[in-house]
Structure 1
Amino acid sequence: MPGPQNSKLREKLERGEATFGATFYTGSTVAIEAAANWGLDFAFIDAEHTPVNVDAHMEKLILAALLAGIAPLVRVRGTNEWDIRKSLEFGATGVIVPQVGTADQARAIIRAAKFPPYGRRGGDSSCRAAGFGGPGFQWSAYMEHENATRLVIPMAESYEFFDNIDEILDVEGIDVINFGPADYSISRQISIDYSMAHPEVEEKLAELIEKSHARGIKVMAPCIPPVAENVSALKKKGVDMIIMGNDVLFLNEGCRRAREAIDTAAKPA
């Protein structure tokens, strides 16, 4: 039988409920487990901008998330089929793929993440997702389960994505699109603002939500700063998966408050 899994995230999405998570850059199991303790739905584990690779350490992070009750989503380094396949075989609930700009790239992701008839994912029963080929293992049930439950999440973070948005969204097998406002802004050489206050960025998010929802695809986006007003605004716009900051942001915020306390205490009475 398969190892620990997290089906709650997909179930919430299928019911149309908003879901919440955080990004994890530090490679710390502690940070992921703490987020789970506070009831977040997903852990966005980054292997694109960090020293973390899709290796034994990533396996540890995925296991920590699963055992703590938070769904692990791995951001891989790109449309690399080995990264995508290994993340899912380690037990990840889904994969997030950066810098997608064409339908061919989207098809390559589906090819790596899905078994036939949707893709051509390589298979081996000696992995966690397959229960290591243990009691009751059946190839047909395993492949059907993987195709039905693992989330495939390309990122919309460049003008090229929006140039080809209809062709990309028409690729069968995409579950969610993650909007990256910073990289989109970099690609367009406009002001970078995670709050998405720039009119063009706001317009692109609205376009993404409209076209994705028309095809039954969910949308993920960041909530920066992570305050109630911004959560309500994103929910009203139709964002389904809301990223409530990241572990480095949380650490900086705690250190900022500590510095302020130190400086205030040092002032003459």
Structure 2
Amino acid sequence: MAAPKNHFKQALTEGQRQIGCWCSFGEAITTELMGTAGFDWLVIDGEHAPNDIRSIRDQLVALATSSAEPVVRVPIGETWIIKQVLDAGAQTVLVPMVETADQAAELVRACRYPPEGTRGVGAAGARATRFGGTPEYIQTADAQICLLLQVENRIGIENLDAILAVEGVDGIFIGPADLSTDMGHQGNSAHPEVRAVIADAITRIKAAGKAPGILGVTEEATQAYAEMGAQFLAVGIDVVLLAQSARALASRWSDDGTG
């Protein structure tokens, strides 16, 4: 039995647009709920959400029967955490703050078994192999791993073409909040200068044969990114969705109770 097919990676390879959402609660039950919403992919966020390897694993379990493909964002691009999330069953990994081609190459190696990579060969009893029930996992896993790199500052943008030239990188995710702040616009990702850099980056990513991705947290931004050609497009964050809906509901009924 081989490693499971990564349908998200296949969709990117085929040029299909994939619509996703962020999961930032760090709880399996909310991620399971999000898995019923109809998104193509969901980010289990290990960078800014209160997650550890156990909660990441539990959310992977929660999405096991969902049509939404899990994308695990690790807190940092280190081999040890990539090894852990892959052994927990992740097949698509999103790495923040990638700035150079050398860093990208090391991340590719972290996702692959020797001799091409440095991933530890210890998954026999891990969830990734169905606890030893996938005898051909090690021989077939590399082909099903999807590596997405976040380019989200001026250094990364300057080195984007070199990063794109690294074999084994499947997609580049532009981080608009970090990028705009690094450009001196403190979170104003709608600034024309920032939008111009994002549009140019998406064009270059597509021209290199990679998949461009981004997160839009407003309808206007999401539409703009879609028109730029973003292929894996996140359209919201679960925490923000709940907060906005709850506040709107409370505001509607708080004055006189009549709506």
Instruction: Specify if TM > 0.5.
Output: yes
Alignment match of 1:63 (pick from 55, 61, 64): 61
- Cα separation, 2, equivalents of 1:49 and 1:246: 12
Contact between 1:71 and 1:92, CA under 8 Å: does it hold in 2? no
Contact between 1:43 and 1:71, CA under 8 Å: does it hold in 2? yes
Contact between 2:32 and 2:59, CA under 8 Å: does it hold in 1? no
Aligned to 1:45: 44
Q: Give me the CA root mean square deviation.
A: 2.2
Matches within 5 A, 1:106-121: 106-116=104-114, 118-121=116-119
Pair 1:190 & 2:181 matched: no
Contact between 1:2 and 1:130, CA under 8 Å: does it hold in 2? no
Aligned to 1:15: 14
**What TM-score, normalized by structure 2, do the two folds share?**
0.91
Contact between 1:221 and 1:242, CA under 8 Å: does it hold in 2? yes
- Cα separation, 2, equivalents of 1:200 and 1:157: 14
Pair 1:178 & 2:176 matched: no
Deviation at 1:2, TM superposition (A): 6.2
Deviation at 1:57, TM superposition (A): 1.9
What residue identity is the alignment partner of 2:251?
Answer: E
- Cα separation, 2, equivalents of 1:189 and 1:236: 25
Q: 1:6 to 1:61 in 2, by over 3 A?
A: farther
- Cα separation, 2, equivalents of 1:13 and 1:260: 41
- Cα separation, 2, equivalents of 1:95 and 1:230: 24
SS of the equivalent of 2:21 reads strand
1:111-139 alpha-carbon deviations (Å, 9 max, x no partner): 111224542222122222223333x613x
SS of the equivalent of 2:212 reads strand
What residue identity is the alignment partner of 1:163?
Answer: E
Identity value in percent: 30
Aligned to 1:212: 205
Pair 1:251 & 2:242 matched: yes
1:205-259 alpha-carbon deviations (Å, 9 max, x no partner): 222222211221101111221x3x6554433211001111111101111111122
Q: 1:131 to 1:145 in 2, by over 3 A?
A: same
Runs of 4+ in 1 over 6 A off after TM superposition: none
Q: 1:63 to 1:28 in 2, by over 3 A?
A: same
Number of residue pairs the alignment of both structures matches:
258
Deviation at 1:7, TM superposition (A): 2.9
Contact between 2:46 and 2:72, CA under 8 Å: does it hold in 1? yes
Deviation at 1:153, TM superposition (A): 0.8
Deviation at 1:43, TM superposition (A): 1.1
Contact between 2:28 and 2:55, CA under 8 Å: does it hold in 1? no
Contact between 1:43 and 1:65, CA under 8 Å: does it hold in 2? no
1:137-195 alpha-carbon deviations (Å, 9 max, x no partner): 13xxx2453221111011011101012111111111101111111111121221423xx
Deviation at 1:201, TM superposition (A): 1.6
**What TM-score, normalized by structure 1, do the two folds share?**
0.87
Aligned to 1:224: 217
- Cα separation, 2, equivalents of 1:265 and 1:43: 39
- Cα separation, 1, equivalents of 2:161 and 2:6: 29
What residue identity is the alignment partner of 1:17?
Answer: Q
Matches within 5 A, 1:128-207: 128-134=127-133, 137-138=135-136, 142-193=137-188, 196-207=189-200
Instruction: Give the gaps of 5 or more residues in structure 1.
Output: none
SS of the equivalent of 1:189 reads helix
Q: 1:236 to 1:118 in 2, by over 3 A?
A: farther
- Cα separation, 1, equivalents of 2:10 and 2:162: 27
What residue identity is the alignment partner of 1:246?
Answer: I
- Cα separation, 1, equivalents of 2:252 and 2:67: 35
1:60-81 alpha-carbon deviations (Å, 9 max, x no partner): 1111112223211111111111
Instruction: Give the gaps of 5 or more residues in structure 2.
Output: none
